[in-house]
Chain A
């Protein structure tokens, strides 16, 4: 009768962290995985905007309210943590998706869904800034190597100039575009409306094609530089256009064309401007310390060609 195995020890439950961790590391499709469960829901046709309450979600601040992803107020740290809720393979997929446009796939729908992140835009812009500065220095060194009067000085101010240009492009243009689209949405109802973070995300990831292009610009061949600019512009420009097309196609044709033209022109201006300001032409001598004279000289050669 005596139960010798009866122990009065309190059986410790595994704490939530251990439980969640073991689920996250599994490779099978589990219901706990928020990304895969969203994919399943998307496949069955339910709207991706509605977030079910996931009881095993370790971050209980994100999905408490259905229909709202970011329930934390913007001055708390948790709000920004929800903007960095991506894994390595997701970032890799998003970069690949922004480089290779596929006619049917809308970048926001396929890759972002309701999970735009700030990691990609921020670090892609940072990498691009340093890539431009370093490649610009290398190219000016390579071009002017043989000339006796030339003394190589690493031009550090290029970093600050490049940073200002690229970060303002990556943040102010989405802001303007989002404001414009929101204003148009009050006049015409369109099926698709993008949040500000999604637009910032699209623009940030679309800049990723410029990183290999900028590295190619080290080689001082004008034909190669223009070729790489055209290729990069086509790829990322088409991603941008295909992303924004569903949001503006219901509008008046003039406005639609105007928006598309603005997006493309701004993209072209960024690429050509970076090339003109930071990369010297192989035909004339460049004085590296007289940095402010560069735009004047390059515009004169631009107008002459």
Chain B
């Protein structure tokens, strides 16, 4: 017994000093917070005015826009992904790029559906590609990142439209080229900053290239946009 106490002394030192005698009553109360508080939380968001709900979501979207414009290593885009931002951007871009409905002169311009399908289908293919190559990012997180990073290209589209209002000359074309190139590289850089961490190290180039191709094609569609006279 003595050796046992000695060998276990450094571990259980002090335990032997504790003795619980039966005549000390132990009292207290144990209360478990039951679901009534959670139900209160649910009811409180249900009860709030619609303006609050919408503003909260808009603020979240706006915060993600800020994260895209100044890409640093933050996980906000990945953690709380949502697809509202990509939808707004995609619809805006497709609306601005589409051709008129019954014009025969503008047969070559993409229809609204074509732009929409290219953006979403392209994002799905790139996400599948990165998952097949062994990426750890989830499907919707990747869609979210790719969709939000179209923001610089949408801004470039607006700038191009404004430049085209002043007539389409060589200087206008040069300005548009510079703006589209800058925004396309910004988009690629921003999405790479978010997506690169989730890929295995020796396949990063394989994952970045399709993203580059995707934004290049969208940038090309923006650059070759010619207004209807």
Binding site for B on A (CB under 8 A): 1-4, 8, 24-25, 77, 80-81, 83-84, 86-89, 91, 119, 123, 126-127, 130, 134, 137, 151-157, 288-289, 291
Contact with A along B188-229 (1 / 0, CB 8 A): 000000000000111111100110010011001100111000
Residues of A within 8 A of B41 (CB): none
Residues of A within 8 A of B210 (CB): 123, 126
Q: In the complex, A154→B109 CA distance in Å?
A: 6
Is B57 on the interface with A (CB-CB < 8 A)?
no
Residues of B within 8 A of A155 (CB): 107-108
List the B residue with the shortest CB-CB distance to A118: B132
Q: Which of the residues A88, A130, A288 comes within 8 Å of B203, measured between beta carbons?
A: A88
Residues of A within 8 A of B213 (CB): 123, 126-127, 130
A119 touches B107 (CB 8 A): no
B133 touches A289 (CB 8 A): no
**A8-B11, A130-B217, A289-B108 as given contacts; A88 in contact with B204, CB under 8 Å:** yes
Residues of A within 8 A of B216 (CB): 130
In addition to A1-B6, A119-B129, 11 A-B residue pairs with Cβ atoms within 8 Å of each other are A2-B7, A24-B201, A25-B201, A119-B132, A119-B133, A123-B213, A137-B224, A153-B107, A154-B225, A156-B114, A288-B108
Q: Which of the residues B104, B201, B220, B224 comes within 8 Å of A289, measured between beta carbons?
A: B104
Q: Which of the residues B9, B202, B224 comes within 8 Å of A88, measured between beta carbons?
A: B202
Q: Which of B93-108 contact A (CB under 8 A)?
A: 104-108
Q: How far is the CB of A204 from chain B (nearest CB, A)?
A: 15
Is B10 on the interface with A (CB-CB < 8 A)?
yes
**A2-B9, A130-B217, A154-B221 as given contacts; A123 in contact with B209, CB under 8 Å:** yes
Q: How far is the CB of B148 from chain A (nearest CB, A)?
A: 23
Is B134 on the interface with A (CB-CB < 8 A)?
yes
Q: In the complex, A288→B203 CA distance in Å?
A: 41
A24 touches B133 (CB 8 A): no
Q: How far is the CB of B7 from chain A (nearest CB, A)?
A: 6
**A89-B202, A119-B129 as given contacts; A2 in contact with B106, CB under 8 Å:** no
List the A residue with the shortest CB-CB distance to B200: A24
Residues of B within 8 A of A89 (CB): 202
A1 touches B7 (CB 8 A): yes
